[in-house]
Amino acid sequence: MNNKEKLRKAGLRPTKQRMIIADILLGGINRHFTAENLQNEINSSGKSMSIATIYNCLKKFRNCGLIKQVESSKDTAIFDTNINQHHHFLNEDTGELIDIENDAVNLRKLPEIPQGYLNNGVEVLIKIKKQI
């Protein structure tokens, strides 16, 4: 399925701007990035896009499940093209995130989900720092 079809299937009009972002984000190597990272990459390729549009698109993409947003205590939102359930190393010295594939982690025991609620995904974060 090409990117235009992916957008259509997600209920999003394939505008010029969304196609530019889809071409960068979808179907390539997985990555973690900020809105500003993405704008810089668009600029480097000789194109340009309003930062408002970038935020609009990322929010739409996220709400459609085309990308995810990472839980992070940094003050800038971090997005993730890896939409499979997976886990992360967090380098606490640098803030860098590294993917951990889902099957590299195995949970022997989990608490009961509160009454009336559904498990909507489990994420493991392994904080690491450089050895001294």
Partner DNA sequence: CAAGTAGTTTAGAACGATTTTAAAGTAAAA
Partner DNA sequence: TTTTACTTTAAAATCGTTCTAAACTACTTG
Residues that bind DNA (CB under 7 A): 8, 12-18, 34-36, 48-53, 55-57, 59-60, 75-77
Q: Which two tokens stand for residue 81?
A: 């093209």
Instruction: List the single partner that 128 binds among DNA, its own copies, Zn ion, none, CB under 5 to 8 Å by kind.
Output: its own copies
The answer to whether residue 90 forms part of the interface with Mn ion (CB under 5 A) is: no
- Of 75, 93, 103, 112, the one binding Mn ion (CB under 5 A) is 75
64 in Cβ contact with 101 (< 8 Å): no
Residues 125 and 105: their CA atoms lie apart, in Å, by: 11
Question: Shortest Cβ distance from residue 71 to Mn ion (Å)?
Answer: 8
71 Ramachandran zone, left/alpha/beta (phi>0; psi -120 to 50): beta
**Residue numbers 21-60 binding Mn ion by CB under 5 A:** none
Q: Which helix (H) or strand (E) holds 22?
A: helix 16-25
Segment contacting its own copies by CB under 8 A, of 5-13, 27-35, 51-59, 101-109: 101-109
